[in-house]
Amino acid sequence: MSPVAGGSLIERPLLEERLDDVLTRRLGVIVAEGGSGKSSLLSRWTGDRNAAWYSLTSDDESLARIARGLTDSLRLRAPGLSSEIGVILSSPQGPDAGADDRSRAAAFASRICEELDRSLTRDLVLVIDDLHELDPHGASVHLIEAFIRQAPQHLHIVVASRDELPFRVDRMRGRGQLVEISGGELAFTIEEMDALLAMHLPDHQDLSEPLRAITGGWPAVTRLMIETLGSVEPQARSSHLEAATIPEGPLFDYLATEIFEQESEDTKRVLQIVALFDRFSPELCETLGFDNARRTLDALHRRALFIERRHDPQGWLSLPAIMREFILRYVPLETEEAGRLYRSAAQWFGEGGHLVEALRALMASGDLTAVARFLTEQGSNVLSSGNIEMLLDAISGLPSDLRDASIARIEGEAWQVRGHWERALHCFDEAMDSSKQPGPGMVWRVGLIHYLRSEPDQAIKAFDRATLDGSHPVDEAILLGWKACAHWLRGEVEEGQTAVNQALQKAEAAAAPQALAIAHTAKAMLAATEGDRQANDLHYLKALDHAQRAGDILQITRIHTNRASLHMEEGAYDEALSELQTAIGLAGLSGFVIFQALGLCNRGATLHHLGRIEEAISDLKASRDLYQRTGSSAVAYPLEKLGGVFRDRGDLTQARSCYEEAILSSEEARDVQGLVPALAGMARVLLHEDASEARAFALRAMSFGPGIDHVGAINAAARVALTQDERTEAIELTERASAEARGRRDWAGLAESLEIRALALIDDDLAITLAEESIQLWEQIREPIGAQRARIAKARLVGGNEGKNLAHVAESTLRSLGARRLAAEAGALARDIDSTSDANVRVSCLGGFRVVRDGQLVPKNEWQSKKARDLLKVLIARRGRPTPRDVMLDALWPEESPDKISNRLSVALTTLRTVLDPAKELDIDDLIVTDGSTLALDLANVTVDVEVFFAAADAGTALIRSGETQSGVTKLIDAEGMYAGDFLEEDIYEDWSVPLREEARATYIRIARILADEAVVAGDHEAAIRYMLRSLERDPYDERAHLSLVAALLEVGRHGEARRRYRIYNERMEELGVESAPFPDPHLAFIQNKD
């Protein structure tokens, strides 16, 4: 709330009119030095308005404190604001939350603004006073900046500070969204001087002009000068002003000294005492030995000079900041006396339950022994109050001889709550080393840190250090619950069941909701591994109930994330997305980066199932980046799922890279849950390129036995068998997969097994029936890519016009979804059925290098030389232009002398011609033209996807320019669908590949932008969102695309996602050093983004 000064505040109509403009703007800024009247002006202006006020102090460097303070202040005027943020802030923060404070600050701002946007129905002004108290580079300032940029339509923010804003607002200024008032404008005018003198010196005569000449209109100095005139006879005041001489130095300090010296000894004494404290009361002053404190403080408050009354339930008082600074600088108490008063005050604060003030007073006293004793006795309670920074500051000031195991443990818990789990681990280790027998409470915290870092071996080793003798039943139950989870991560079901049964027994006996939540979560996870869906669901429901009772944000987040996995496997994608929206939001605010990453991973997988490929890639990449930043081996999860998305899109190079990295990471961590799907995914990628290698990966995935994604592993092995024409084996495998999928309610796994079996059967009628069942099941769970893949399978089986039509439908649908590999497969099938296949040789370079000859993929083992493949790639990069032999030699063998390798080029050329035309049906120069000194690819006889892409892009653009917009858009949609990935991604570091790669990428981005704009014009915002995401994947710094994406998300009502994407936009602009544009007004979004 605003500070309330005694006496009256004069009217300042001109300045108040300026502030009225804030009601039609986003931001008001008042920058002036202390004593300029900023707070007084704002206090009067907000008096009769719907306004909230928050005054900052150095304690607000804590992100939790400032977020809680702003939320509490706003809730007084916007009671609809959720109290959930307060619960999150009072809960332990996740690992590395401190390292991610800027992101969490933006997330808090986004969450508050989103809730205000829903709840505010009229204008609300928020005053943020004393911004200069904060570190300009800290997370708290970032929160304020994000809050300003994301403020909803009805929220108007006014910031008051002694310093210029520590962030840029040029764009708001340029858009007329900023009201600025400087220190010079705050100076009193002659008319305001008259009003002020009339209020305090009713009998004054013509003092305004000389008073202003001396003070310059500076409010604080003017007020002090009037105070000095009050002690002068009325008839002598003019001559007093004329004779006044101000010595060199700060004017305020001179006048304050003069006023202070005029006060009574009692007044001076009480001011010196209360200046020691941020806030005080008459009772505190009396405790410190000042008998008439109440009467003296009341008199000072009425004079409106020294004392401000704070708006809070306790009725605390405080000194104006500029006056407190003066007293502490010029008339402080002696050090010894101040120390005694601090110690007495600490006792009074402590007895009253004001533990933070007590600790602050002890720290100021310099009595470190008393500080250590207080921390031992009350440290846990201070921690519970949320004042973590002060607690850590107090501990850091203690010498080593005053630190014991108790203080090390409290420090560890503080760092854990703060989110610095590495530091917490160090403190816990220190505490355990100095304890003969570490308690289970400390041990489970250590083990939890290792578990959340995907280090199950270290976690179990830590858990085993505790002695479980029943003396601490709650902590013992929690420890055993987490230990069960660590065994689950290692695939050790029996050991996990043993631990969780013990955990549940102890938790139920203690009736401890936190322990019960953890135990039931572990039970649910183990039930899922065993395929017991009913038990899995039941235990998660019980776990969530207990976690909510305990206010355990970690468990609530974790349960929502895990339940989403259950819904996803059953094909209940809407339910999965709902669970994940809650989980991701909670994890982002609480700093549990691991669960934020897991939530994004699961949401990405869910979006992939729904055919929303671009959004899936965005979430999965964000998940991967979070895991990589924390060094977690669980990065295998998003990598494996990214591999699947890239595989569907046709970007096989990226798919293989993701699977390889996922396998390596899972193997290092001994994480079976991540390893099995990655092995199965690699088998799928290698199906047509190297079936033998694919079979090895599939069999290894199956070897781990029943568990999560075992159905996927069996289906992968069945696909390999089918590719190798082992139909009987494929049928047997799909029957196993179908049986297990039905038991697990894995409808996607069942649908795939039916599709594969249909292709393996000899009986066409039964095969077609199974394909139709597969299509129906895919459509029932709303998985469009799977449905179209099954439709392609049916098209192969039925052939003829029906098959051709099915293939065309699949091709069109898959292209719109961005599943380019399957779309190309459907298109090729339609051409084969229609016997209209074109060139005998087709080369794919976008998203991966493949050569198709006479409709069949050339397998890897048919290429006898890697240099032959590279030769074809270089010729393609030259786009049909003749390439001199010496240039080609340098490209293929850059480190060797041309004299020694000239024959190698001839060998590579012969190999290449053999691969492209093994039957030698064509003339020698039909595919590759040579004239003795140059080589060139004949693009008339070889179809290259990147050339077809360029041709379609050029044709579509030309049509649009000629006014044939619809025909042009159709052509551009075809071109966009061809771009499965960047040109020759596997050769990204080869200089000869760079020019064409950059040209193709630039062309693709241009196409995506045009299609996004046309979709907006047509009102198809979902299509616009897809194209914008595709464009941003290739160019993550395209500001217009970012803001247009936010606007499109707002148009379709996805407000939470719009704010998340806006935060991503801010991060990209920060990386460039560019000021972000404000969050778009939903009603004007597309108009604004054309600026």
Residue 624 pLDDT more than 90? yes
User: pLDDT digit string (tens) for 8-21?
Assistant: 468 888 899 999 99
HSE (side-chain half, CA atoms, 13 Å) at 338: 17
- Say if CB 645 and CB 785 are below 8 A apart: no
- Is the pLDDT score of 641 beyond 70? yes
Could you tell me the residue ranges of all domains in the chain?
4-186, 437-551, 671-759, 761-837, 845-946, 955-1088
pLDDT of residue 247: 52
> 543, 559 in Cβ contact below 8 A?
yes
Report the pLDDT averaged over residues 840-850.
88
Specify the higher pLDDT residue, 385 or 520.
520
**pLDDT above 90 (res 348):** yes
Torsion from C-alpha of 44, 48, 49, 50, nearest 10 degrees: 120
Quote the CA–CA distance of 183 and 179 in Å, as a whole number.
14
In this structure, how many other beta carbons lie within 10 angstroms of the beta carbon of residue 127? 26
Q: What is the structure's pLDDT at 7?
A: 43
Residue 814 has pLDDT above 50, yes or no: yes
Point out which residues pair with 479 in neighbouring strands.
none
- pLDDT bucket at 636, cuts 50 / 70 / 90: very high
What CATH topology corresponds to 955-1088? 1.25.40
pLDDT score recorded for residue 774: 96
Residues 1029/1057, Cβ–Cβ less than 8 Å = no
Position 1087 confidence tier, pLDDT thresholds 50, 70, 90: very low
Q: How confident is the model at residue 828 (pLDDT cuts 50, 70, 90)?
A: confident
Indicate the pTM of the whole model: 0.77
> Of all helices (H) and strands (E), which one includes residue 664?
helix 652-669
Looking at the domain 671-759, which fold is it? 1.25.40
Residue located via tokens 């939320």: 71
More confident residue, 496 or 232: 496
User: Is 251 a residue whose pLDDT tops 60?
Assistant: no
Q: Summarize pLDDT for 49-103 with one digit per residue, the tens.
A: 999 999 998 888 888 888 888 988 998 888 878 766 766 766 655 555 555 678 8
CATH architecture of 4-186: 3-Layer(aba) Sandwich (3.40)
Q: How many CA atoms lie within 13 A of 527 on its CB side?
A: 20
**Which range has highest mean pLDDT (41-55, 429-443, 1074-1088)?**
41-55
| pLDDT value, residue 710 | 92
What pLDDT sits at residue 539? 95
- Rounded-to-integer distance, Cα 609 and Cα 605, Å: 6
pLDDT at 76 (0 to 100): 87
Per residue in 266-322, pLDDT (tens digit) is: 888 888 999 999 889 889 998 998 877 888 888 777 766 677 776 555 678 888 777
- Topology annotation, domain 845-946: Arc Repressor Mutant, subunit A (1.10.10)
Mean pLDDT in the chain? 87
User: How large is the average pLDDT for residues 526-536?
Assistant: 86
pLDDT, tens digit (0-9, with 9 covering 90-100), for 114-159: 889 888 889 999 999 999 999 999 989 999 999 999 999 899 999 9
Tell me 990's DSSP state.
-
Class of domain 437-551: mainly alpha
In the three-class reduction of DSSP (H, G, I as helix; E, B as strand; rest coil), residue 189 is classed as coil
* Phi-psi domain of 450 (left: phi exceeds 0; alpha: psi -120 through 50; beta: other): alpha
pLDDT score recorded for residue 5: 45
Query: What's residue 97's pLDDT?
Result: 52
745 and 569 Cβ atoms separated by less than 8 Å: yes
Do 671-759 and 955-1088 share a fold? Answer: yes
Q: Which residues are CB-neighbours of 313 under 8 A, at least 6 positions away?
A: none
pLDDT tens per residue, range 934-967: 999 999 889 999 999 999 999 999 999 999 999 9
